[in-house]
Amino acid sequence: MQAALALARRGLGNTWPNPAVGCVIVRDGAVVGRGWTQPGGRPHAETEALRRAGDLARGATAYVTLEPCSHHGRTPPCCNALIGAGVARVIAAMRDPDPRVDGRGFAMLRAAGIVVEEGLLEAEAQAINAGFSRRIRAGRPVVTLKLATTLDGRIATHAGESQWITGPEARREAHAMRARHDAILVGSGTAVADDPDLTCRLPGAAPTRSLRVIADARLRTPPGARVFATARQHPTLLVTVPGHKPAALAPYLEAGAEVATVARGPEGLSLTALLGALAQRGVTRVLAEGGAGIAAALLREGLVDRLAWFHAPGVMGGDGLPAAYRLPVEVLAAMPRFRRVAARPLGPDWLTEFEPREA
């Protein structure tokens, strides 16, 4: 199952709207087939592993990180494939929350005489599928907030200079992080100040399917910005509020970007509504890369599921721009708090990862 989980992780950022699943088929103590969900979500992990195992799947045990599907999609259910291949035992880490499956897969396998065990390394599988489960159950994706700051939490100088605070090792990790998410979100402040292209550039890495999302209520990002100039090569979504004149939106559409409108929020657009719109498009995992406005709004609304904080060993002082502004914390009890789940050095910098601390 550990091996199946590692295979599943390969698909993160690439399989949406489907979950990233891994499957290992074992017979007589030897691995005879391995598979993981392919880009775009099909083929599923089990059919990939079965194809490789061929006749050796007969009497074998399949380790799957998610309950095999029981519904007819573009292809018949994975349960049919497992039954047809003569697999004797299926060990699944967790149940599939998709209402089309949700226990029906296990029932189908058992009805066919296959021995089924559920719950092996379930916590790991739940973590991998957190975005998928959240989209199914709550209609929104999980959000990782990525910040790169000085030791005193500054993201840019007073003059707006921000490139580069962290070193090349941290930036490489940030690119890998983009690849593991379905969508990369920035606000117009960052889009204007940094003119990022929000792609994943890693030598040797396969092209990614990440959707680039610019939250821009007032259409402050010029249509000539790098994200829009490359919109024909990389999917790009401009999210704004209703009421703009068609002529104001036309240049973005002409550049090849999509435009979506969502409800207004306290400042600009509602991030909750934006996340809902992304989930409707199938997005399960969002990487928010700033800036200070988006970071503050996500923290304020309790929308951060994971915080990835790069610290560079420099100090900017009070004139530097803070990582988040207008977080009205007046009493300590109101401060969003996190618990550290990982920390490691990256060249001269540190990456610390956090999850919300339960109240």
Enumerate binding residues for Zn ion (CB under 5 A). Answer: 44, 69, 78
Instruction: Please provide residue 130's backbone torsions phi and psi, each rounded to the nearest 5 degrees.
Output: -55, -40
- First CA to last CA across the chain, in angstroms? 33
Nearer to ligand AOF, 109 or 155 (CB): 109
Query: Do 291 and 155 touch, CB atoms closer than 8 A?
Result: yes
Say if residue 297 carries a ligand binding annotation. Answer: yes
Of 50-58, 70-78, 162-170, 303-311, the window that binds ligand AOF (rule: CB under 6 A) is: 70-78
- Contacting residue, 1, 5, 12, 21, with ligand AOF by CB under 6 A: 21
Instruction: Please provide residue 201's backbone torsions phi and psi, each rounded to the nearest 5 degrees.
Output: -110, 100
Q: Which amino acid is at 91?
A: I
Query: Do 172 and 202 touch, CB atoms closer than 8 A?
Result: yes
- Contacting residue, 18, 208, 270, 284, with ligand AOF by CB under 6 A: 18
Q: Is 46 one of the annotated active-site residues of the chain?
A: yes
Is residue 13 within the footprint of ligand AOF (CB under 6 A)?
A: no
C-alpha atoms less than 13 angstroms from C-alpha of 166 in its C-beta half-sphere = 25
Contacted by 89, from Zn ion, ligand AOF, none: CB < 5 to 8 Å by type: none
CB of residue 313 to ligand AOF, shortest distance in Å: 42
- Contacting residue, 101, 148, 225, 283, with ligand AOF by CB under 6 A: 101
- DSSP string of 147-201? EEEETT-EEE-TT---TTSS-HHHHHHHHHHHHTSSEEEEEHHHHHHH-------
Q: H or E element: which one contains 251?
A: helix 246-255
Of 34-42, 192-200, 242-250, 312-320, the window that binds ligand AOF (rule: CB under 6 A) is: 34-42
- Contacting residue, 46, 124, 194, 216, with ligand AOF by CB under 6 A: 46
Partner residues linked to 246 by β-bridges: none
Of 62-70, 159-167, 272-280, 331-339, the window that binds ligand AOF (rule: CB under 6 A) is: 62-70
Nearest CA among 227, 236, 242 for reference residue 273: 242
Out of 46, 48, 124, 173, the active site residue is: 46
Is residue 73 within the footprint of ligand AOF (CB under 6 A)?
A: yes
Is residue 45 within the footprint of ligand AOF (CB under 6 A)?
A: yes
CB of residue 3 to Zn ion, shortest distance in Å: 19
Is residue 182 within the footprint of ligand AOF (CB under 6 A)?
A: no
Contacted by 18, from ligand AOF, Zn ion, none: CB < 5 to 8 Å by type: ligand AOF
Please classify residue 233 by burial: count the beta carbons closer than 10 Å to its beta carbon, then call 0-12 exposed, 13-18 middle and 19+ buried. Answer: exposed
Please classify residue 102 by burial: count the beta carbons closer than 10 Å to its beta carbon, then call 0-12 exposed, 13-18 middle and 19+ buried. Answer: middle
Contacted by 95, from ligand AOF, Zn ion, none: CB < 5 to 8 Å by type: none
CB of residue 56 to ligand AOF, shortest distance in Å: 20
Query: Do 221 and 194 touch, CB atoms closer than 8 A?
Result: no
Is residue 289 within the footprint of ligand AOF (CB under 6 A)?
A: no
Say if residue 79 carries a ligand binding annotation. Answer: no
Distance, in Å, from the CA atom of 17 to the CA atom of 1, rounded to the nearest integer, reads 23
Residue list, annotated binding site for Zn(2+): 44, 69, 78
Enzyme catalytic residues: 46
Binding residues (CB under 6 A) for ligand AOF: these are 18-19, 21, 37, 41-42, 44-46, 66, 68-69, 73-74, 78, 96, 98, 101
